[in-house]
Structure 1
Amino acid sequence: MKEVGKIWMNGKLVPFKNAKVHVLTHALHYSTAVFEGIRCYNTPNGSAIFRLPEHVDRFFNSAKLYGMKIRYTKKQIIDAIIKTVKASGLKECYIRPIAYYGYGTMGLTPTLNKVDVSIACLEMIGEPKAGKFSGAKCKISKWIRIDSKSQPMQSKSAANYSNAALARVEALKSGYDEAIMLNSSGKVAEGSAENIFIIKNGIIKTPPLNADILNGITRDSIIRLIKSNGIKLIEKNLTVKELLKADEVFMTGTAAEVKSVAKINKTTIGNGKIGNITKTLQKSFMDVTMGKEQKFAFWLRYI
């Protein structure tokens, strides 16, 4: 990982290499952390952060679901994110805010420890070809998505992503690009770090939020773009059969943006190429992020 600019830690910008935590930090031992992934795009009108208020809202909601008290206001975090991006010197980057129980009392109960907050900017490395220029190959994971009755899946928490990492590693070791996870009811949930959509006979379907999925901000953006393009969309529980028989399948996420799926297990989706509707949505989304779509210009925060 390339060292870029400075990292914001509890109100101060510190050199990248000095942004350290103690080995007994509570979050390291018990996954008591919540985080966000945010993109800053290099648009023709300058650097712009995509849907910054919505990401910060979700950041605070994730903390609330875990009973974590962030000792900064939303405005302070927004200002800190902008300050950190400017300090990075990058025109476009991936932004990672994280709130976590820090060093203090050891043991399972975290509430005696302060909630620390850090914000880092990472350089975006070249786009993966799988999903953007050719369809990704996905494996239906043997690992089941955590049930929301076990822990809040609407929270973007570190604890949830240990489950996702198991699925991702399993898929990669089996020669695939990504995993698709089912929920405890055997219905389609999401990818390891992306929401999922299918297209059949021109109708787009996606699992509802109660399918134990994260309320993805890119997911919400795509749903709004779909509706603005006059395409029919249905939120419903999806079976594996519906997934495999789809004409097109795509995934969405902050890092993935809009990623086409060409193969699931041994089944080729459609003709194995990026479908026309997926291509349209890929272009529509990139037009929005580049400030070319006036209708959604309010999603960009120029800095």
Structure 2
Amino acid sequence: MEYAFFEGKFVPIEEAKINIKTNSFHYGTAIFEGIRAYWNEEHQQLYILFAREHYQRLLRNCKAMFMELPYSVEDLVNITVELLRKNQIKEDVYIRPIVYFKDLKLTPKLIDYTPEIAIYTYNFGRYLDTSKGIRVKVSSWRRNDDNSIPSRWKVAGAYVNSALAKTEALLAGYDEAIMLNQHGFVAEGSGENIFLIREGKAITPSYSEHILEGITRSAVKKLLKNELVVEIEERPVARSELYVADEIFLTGTAAEITPVVEVDNRKIGGGDVGAITKELQDIYFRAVRGMIERYFGWLTPVYEK
């Protein structure tokens, strides 16, 4: 039987249902996270990646949305571990916590409502092609402005913006979209942060460019600096810089580290996965499965040994 954590208790997934009148369903005011857990067959262990960091961000975003939950970061990590154990998961899995106003009133506001949290698991697999790389299109849809709907928050309603861009790209025959901000500079993908490699240096838009404060982005910066000794520059990135980059890759919990081999019908580098991206992927994918001891701090083991 598959379980979810729903409004304070573990229930069969079929019972984890909200009322059609639920306020956040109508106004997109839910806050969510995406968390991956990786199975290591040799260790016979399931490792949750950045569990604490994800729940820290969730609670920060909830606070900004006037959602006060009766749980600490450690509470939520422990609930997630228990959920994975109850579901007896021994394979890679995606975890979706979502906080929403459960009230049945139809008024678009953020106060005088009651927040609840649900957590469930999903067999996600690969979100994008991390081996051969993907083709992307610069979208005609601009990234949300921070003074409109902040992209640094993972708020459900904001992802209409992502859905429009992603759909435009797919209908045009591409795999993903790259979005510009309201000033015309590169922001991020529809659900990923972006890095460019030029002349051995990594370039990525800063948080001031209206992007998600990515957890994988932060981890990749550490790997670039500590493992590959690559200089990192955070600054505004012009659209034209994409076309002349030596390498491009996207980062995110779902996307992991996804190489970009073509932008707007222009090959990036030689049109295949670049050397720095390959090396970065190798380190990252070993680290998330508990194969590099110095990165054990990233992981929360699920099963007791």
TM-score (norm 1): 0.95
Matched, 1:236 2:213: no
- What is the SS of the residue equivalent to 1:280? helix
Shift of 1:107: 1.4
- Aligned AA (2:96): R
Q: Is the 8 A contact 1:208 1:237 kept in 2?
A: yes
Corresponding position of 2:114 = 114
- What is the SS of the residue equivalent to 2:80? helix
Q: How do 1:141-290 residues align onto structure 2 when only pairs under 5 Å count? A: 141-229=139-227, 230-290=229-289
Which whole-Å CA distance do the structure 1 matches of 2:110 and 2:94 have between them? 29
Which whole-Å CA distance do the structure 1 matches of 2:298 and 2:33 have between them? 17
Corresponding position of 1:297 = 296
Corresponding position of 1:14 = 11
- Aligned AA (2:71): Y
Which whole-Å CA distance do the structure 1 matches of 2:216 and 2:284 have between them? 9
Which whole-Å CA distance do the structure 2 matches of 1:73 and 1:31 have between them? 24
Could you list the runs of 5+ residues in structure 1 that have no partner in the other structure? none
Shift of 1:75: 2.1
Partner of residue 35 from structure 1, selected from 12, 32, 35: 32
Corresponding position of 1:123 = 123
Structure 1 residue runs of 4+, over 3 Å off?
none
Which whole-Å CA distance do the structure 2 matches of 1:298 and 1:97 have between them? 21
- Aligned AA (1:105): K
Shift of 1:236: 1.1
- Aligned AA (2:87): S
Corresponding position of 1:71 = 70
10-19 or 52-61: which moved more? Answer: 10-19
Deviations 1:46-83 (A, max 9, x none): 11101111010000011112122123222221111111
Deviations 1:232-276 (A, max 9, x none): 111111001111110100000111100000111121111110011
- Aligned AA (1:48): Y
Which whole-Å CA distance do the structure 2 matches of 1:301 and 1:73 have between them? 16
Q: Is the 8 A contact 1:104 1:113 kept in 2?
A: no
Q: Is the 8 A contact 2:67 2:114 kept in 1?
A: no
Shift of 1:124: 3.0
Could you list the runs of 5+ residues in structure 2 that have no partner in the other structure? none
Which whole-Å CA distance do the structure 1 matches of 2:205 and 2:5 have between them? 36
Shift of 1:110: 4.0
RMSD (Å), alpha carbons: 1.3
Q: Is the 8 A contact 1:248 1:278 kept in 2?
A: yes
Q: How do 1:26-105 residues align onto structure 2 when only pairs under 5 Å count? A: 26-43=23-40, 44-45=42-43, 46-91=45-90, 92-105=92-105
- What is the SS of the residue equivalent to 2:89? coil
Which whole-Å CA distance do the structure 1 matches of 2:158 and 2:70 have between them? 23
Shift of 1:121: 0.7
- Aligned AA (2:112): L
Which whole-Å CA distance do the structure 1 matches of 2:149 and 2:130 have between them? 33
Equivalent residue pairs, number: 298
Shift of 1:29: 0.6
Which whole-Å CA distance do the structure 2 matches of 1:195 and 1:79 have between them? 28
Q: Is the 8 A contact 2:65 2:110 kept in 1?
A: no
162-171 or 130-139: which moved more? Answer: 130-139
- What is the SS of the residue equivalent to 1:172? helix
- Aligned AA (2:36): R
Q: Is the 8 A contact 1:191 1:251 kept in 2?
A: yes
- Aligned AA (2:180): L
- Aligned AA (1:246): A
Shift of 1:151: 2.4
